[in-house]
Amino acid sequence: MTEDVTASQERVVSKPRQEVIKEAKRLYENCLYTSKSHFVEAHFWQNLHLWIGVPSVILAGVAGTLAFAEVKILAGVLSMVIVVLTSIASCLNPKEQANAHLTAANNYDSVMTKLRIFWSIDCWTEESDDVLTVRLRTYCEERDKFNRECPQPFKWCYRSAKKGIQEGESEYFVDKQS
């Protein structure tokens, strides 16, 4: 078996264990981009919910007041605008979309935390390479389950998330310390 010494740990690490750690970090990176994409999209849908809902409520109040003031044409026009806004809200269901993407983001974020603990702590214990490989496969299966069940983020959400990650939005202060 080929073995290497890691400089930071001064410990002999088998080639399979090195590959398990590398694959865990790849999986982490995949979950990072996916999680951040879902957070961006959840934020979009939350805002859309407010952009449609608040004007609808305000316009409904104004239209009702105008109807009683016998300004019927303007009340009718506002009523049509309200119908359009509420129809859009009903069709797109932004609140439900926001919740679905927020749940997805948190699910991927949970896998990321498990993976970070796995490669930085668990992989340095006395567990066998085979045990670690099985655990890594479990994390892969968990991510794959979310890929199947969660909504697909918009492409622009992925690009926005990627830009934010590259600008350091996902870095922790502790990791920046030497």
Quick check: is 176 in a domain? no
Which helix H or strand E contains 138, and what residues bound it? helix 129-149
Quick check: is 126 in a domain? yes
**Structure-block tokens of residue 33:** 């981009």
Q: What is the tens place of the pLDDT at every residue in 31-84?
A: 999 999 999 999 999 999 999 999 999 999 999 898 888 888 898 999 999 999
The answer to whether 143 touches 63, Cβ cutoff 8 Å, is: no
**Structure-block tokens of residue 72:** 């019927």
Quick check: is 118 in a domain? yes
Q: Tell me, what's the pLDDT at 170?
A: 87
Q: What is the tens place of the pLDDT at every residue in 75-92?
A: 899 999 999 999 999 999
The answer to whether 144 touches 27, Cβ cutoff 8 Å, is: no
Q: Domain span at residue 56? A: 15-165
Quick check: is 7 in a domain? no
pLDDT range class, residue 178, cuts 50, 70, 90: low
pLDDT reading at 128 higher than 50: yes
Give the CA radius of gyration of the chain: 25
Quick check: is 34 in a domain? yes
**Structure-block tokens of residue 43:** 């934020």
Quick check: is 61 in a domain? yes
Number of independent structural domains in the chain: 1
Q: Tell me, what's the pLDDT at 69?
A: 86
Quick check: is 175 in a domain? no
**Structure-block tokens of residue 169:** 């939005």
Quick check: is 81 in a domain? yes
Query: What is the mean predicted confidence (pLDDT) over 130-143?
Result: 97
Q: Whole-prediction pTM value?
A: 0.84
